[in-house]
Amino acid sequence: MSIRRFDAIQTREVAHYYTRPRRRPTPHRAAKPLDDSDRSKLHTMQACMSMNAAAAPCIARQQNQLRAGARSAAAKAPAASRRLMSVRAANKEGWSDSTQAVHFGEREGRPRVSDSLTTPVVMTSTYTFKDTAELIAYQEGRYGSFEYGRYGNPTTRACEEKIRLLEGGEDCLVSASGMNSAICMLLSLVPAGGHIVTTTDCYRRTRQFIQTFLPKMGITSSVLDPSDYDGLEKALNEHECSIYFSESPTNPYLRCVDVGRIAALCKPKGCLVCIDGTFATPINFRPLTHGADLVIHSASKYFGGHNDVLAGCIVGNAEAIGKVRAFHNIMGGVIDPHAAYLVLRGLKTLSLRVARHNENAMRLAERLEAHPKIDRVHYPGLKSHPDHEVAVKYMTGFGGVVSFEVKGDLWATAKFIDSCKLPYIAPSLGGVESLIEQPTVVSYWDQGPEKRAAIGIKDNLVRMACGIEDYDDIESDILQALDQIPQL
């Protein structure tokens, strides 16, 4: 019988008990006439019967409430008992309030997070082991965990795995910045007295590290034009080269290197090929599938995608990444778990965003190439670009950055940039917002005109990192800004 059915029967019985007609006992003798006292008692009894009848529904309701309370208490009793047992177990040592505040709610077990839709941000600097046997199992590789925050983190590891799969590598290491990834790679894979080959057009800080710091370790370099394959072959024959390292596309002229051809030259000489794919992303170009050993990224750019995080990564064969990771464990440069989460989240929309970046940049490059106030446009998607055929060979899209030269001097170019209303003046790329910069001012102002000319940085050069805004708004703003400078 259901509880609801049982309650209904009980309520009906209670009501019937107080309201049923009372039968008088059969008199065995003649009834005695009622006096005033008897009449008073009779009235009292009748009043009580009337009150009981009126109270029956109320009593029934009270009984129902009592039953409901009992059922609720019965349901809650096991959880309450467990909590009480947990408290007693946690405090089996008789800990004080301050000690309890540190340990209670965590020491006897943490909440399960494996069923969380989003990857949890694990904010910890160290990891615990239940006993020495478990720690030894970890040290011997029989128990999967982490030891210390500098050596790994679950959130960071999830980010690394996603990047690894996107690039098609065997392993991935995420670090605090793109420069940290590049420096760890060079210091861990190039021996003292070694030699590297790199290209003329590259990020200034990378060139600065190669040309000013590495020589202190006796490491020399050959700096070649990105398309100088004969020069590469000559360097490989004359030096015991450890690494060929180039961006593709490069910064800021967006030169593209023939990775397959480079790998064919380097592999027989035991020289690793590392490509910085920041400007391309694995959505447009996957160097590892064309013979490269390693690929690095400034994950602050397209991977994060929102200009709100600093991060870097290196992906490639397990042996090389293992050496880089071992050095990284010593040097540091560890990414914060929350930063790793921001990169992880950004990667989920990478393909959607890059498609819009590609489209906006391609259309803008075509429009600028036909503009009378533009001297030259540098974009690998254009047939006029010196590496267009290489870009078409390897890339499915040409990226969101367009570099171009304004017809005018430094100050005419600055006036154009200052007249732009949509893009921010800022030195980065890959975010949802469009950014614009004059490399002479942003990155090379301290070099002076002669040094800038020596490394190919022109005063009228502009780098535009297209965001994901509506293209018509981007074009309209660039055109009105060009209208503000005089026609030469």
What is the rounded end-to-end Cα distance, in angstroms, of the chain?
Answer: 98
pLDDT, average across residues 190-209: 93
pLDDT computed for residue 33 by the predictor: 55
Mean predicted confidence (pLDDT) in 127-133: 95
> Can you give the pLDDT at residue 78?
57
Confidence of residue 295 (pLDDT cuts 50, 70, 90): very high
Q: How far is the C-alpha of 90 from the C-alpha of 109, rounded, in Å?
A: 10
Model pLDDT for residues 437-446, shown as the tens digit of each residue: 999 998 888 8
In whole angstroms, give the CA distance from residue 151 to residue 325: 8
For residue 84, give Cα distances in angstroms to 80, 91, 222, 341, 427: 6, 11, 71, 37, 58
- Alpha helices (runs of H) in 91-170, residue ranges in sequence order: 97-103, 132-139, 154-167
Average pLDDT over residues 20-41: 50
Instruction: Name the residue with higher pLDDT: 337 or 27.
Output: 337
Q: Is the pLDDT of residue 135 over 70?
A: yes
Rg value, the chain, Cα: 39
Average pLDDT over residues 367-395: 98
The pLDDT tens digits for 239-275 are 999 999 999 999 999 999 999 999 999 999 999 999 9
The total of other beta-carbon atoms located within 10 Å of residue 352's CB is: 11
For the segment 148-158, what is each residue's pLDDT rounded down to a tens digit? 999 999 999 99
pLDDT tier at 115, thresholds 50, 70, 90: confident
Q: Please check the confidence at residue 349 and state whether its pLDDT lies above 50.
A: yes
375-399 mean pLDDT? 98
State residue 204's pLDDT score.
87
CB neighbours of residue 363 within 10 Å = 17
- Other beta carbons within 10 angstroms of residue 205's beta carbon come to 14
Helix axes 471-482, 350-369, angle to 10 degrees: 30
Where do we find the tokens 């009848």?
53
Q: Which stretch of DSSP H or E encloses residue 424?
A: strand 424-425
pLDDT at 61 over 50: yes
The pair of structure tokens assigned to 17 is 């008990």
Please state the φ and ψ torsions of residue 294, each to the nearest 5 degrees. -140, 150
Percent of the chain with pLDDT over 70: 81
**Order of all β-strands in the sheet with 272-276:** 171-175, 312-316, 294-298, 272-276, 241-247, 195-199, 220-224
pLDDT exceeds 80 at position 22: no
* pLDDT at residue number 447: 85
Summarize the confidence of residues 330-352 as an average pLDDT: 97
- How far apart CA 394 and CA 265 sit, in angstroms, is 18
Q: Find the mean pLDDT for residues 394-414.
A: 97
Q: Each residue of 110-127: b (16+ CB within 10 Å) or e? A: eeeeeeeeebebbeeeeb
Q: Is the model's pLDDT at 40 over the cut of 70?
A: no
Looking at residue 463, its pLDDT comes to 98
Average pLDDT for 343-349: 97
Question: Tokens 């989920």 appear where?
Answer: 348
Q: Strand pairing partners for 224?
A: 199
Q: Average the pLDDT over 335-356 and give the result.
A: 98
Cα distances from 404 to residues 139, 251, 368, in angstroms, run 54, 12, 8
Look at residue 41 in the predicted model and tell me its pLDDT. 53
Q: What is the pLDDT of residue 99?
A: 87
pTM of the model: 0.80
Q: What is the pLDDT of residue 55?
A: 47
The mean of the pLDDT values for the chain is 87
Residue-level pLDDT at 109: 73
C-alpha to C-alpha distance for 190 and 294, rounded to whole angstroms: 14
461 DSSP 8-state letter = E
| Model confidence at 45: pLDDT above 70 | no
Written as six digits, the tokens of 382 are 């254009």
Nearest Cα to Cα of residue 474 among 366, 348, 329, 376: 366
Q: Are 270 and 303 in contact (CB under 8 A)?
A: no
Write 329-332 long-range contacts (CB < 8 A, 24+). 329/150, 329/151, 331/184, 331/187, 332/150
